[in-house]
């Protein structure tokens, strides 16, 4: 009965060691169980984020023609404004030349009349 008792004791020690190991494994697995729920939540949030991103992309794609049209309109308005500015600058230059063309002969004529009057006065005074 002596060797049978030692064998029973060894079996009990093996069972205790096995129970301790199982307890340690259970303690190690507890955080993993919490991680499973967290991973599931992250997966759900990721799916929602992907859906939102896809919707935003669709909205942007839908807006692209409108943005392109607005860009074309803005470019056309800029070209027209530049053309109008060029015409105004040209008209301003034309006004300067017309002024010069009008005032130049007028001043020359007044100078000639004034010179003639002075010469006539000198000619009359000298007699």
Q: What DSSP line would sit under 35-66, residue for residue?
A: HHHHHHHHHHHHHHHHHHHHHHHHHHHHHHHH
Q: Is the pLDDT of residue 46 over 60?
A: yes
Whether pTM > 0.75 for this model: the answer is no
Long-range contacts of 49-56 (CB under 8 A, 24+ apart): none
Q: Is the pLDDT of residue 1 over 70?
A: no
Separation between Cα atoms, residue 109 and residue 125, nearest integer Å: 24
Q: What does the pLDDT read at residue 56?
A: 93
Q: Answer whether residue 8 is part of any domain.
A: yes
Q: Answer whether residue 65 is part of any domain.
A: yes
Q: Answer whether residue 97 is part of any domain.
A: no
Q: What does the pLDDT read at residue 121?
A: 86
The mean per-residue pLDDT over the stretch 64-85 comes to 93
Q: In the chain, how many domains are there? A: 1
The mean per-residue pLDDT over the stretch 56-84 comes to 93
Q: How much of the chain, in percent, has pLDDT values that exceed 90?
A: 34
Q: Answer whether residue 107 is part of any domain.
A: no
Residue 3: band (very low, low, confident or very high) from pLDDT cuts 50, 70, 90? low
How far apart, in Å, are the Cα atoms of 68 and each of 45, 98, 120?
34, 45, 77
Residue 52: both structure tokens together: 């939102």
Could you list the beta-strand ranges (E) of the chain: none
Q: Is the pLDDT of residue 119 over 80?
A: yes
Q: Is the pLDDT of residue 8 over 80?
A: no
Q: Which domain holds residue 15?
A: 1-89
Separation between Cα atoms, residue 32 and residue 34, nearest integer Å: 5
């Amino acid at each position: 009965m002596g060797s049978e008792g030692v064998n029973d004791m060894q079996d009990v020690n093996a069972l205790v060691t096995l129970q301790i190991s199982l307890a340690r494994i259970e303690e190690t697995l507890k955080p993993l169980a919490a991680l499973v729920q967290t991973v599931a939540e992250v997966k759900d949030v990721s799916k929602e984020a992907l859906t939102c991103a896809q919707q935003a992309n669709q909205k942007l794609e839908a807006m692209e023609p409108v943005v392109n049209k607005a860009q074309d309109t803005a470019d056309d308005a800029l070209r027209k404004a530049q053309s109008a500015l060029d015409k105004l600058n040209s008209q301003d230059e034309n006004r300067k030349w017309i002024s010069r063309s009008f005032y130049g002969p007028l001043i020359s004529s007044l100078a000639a009349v004034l010179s003639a009057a002075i010469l006539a006065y000198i000619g009359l005074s000298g007699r």
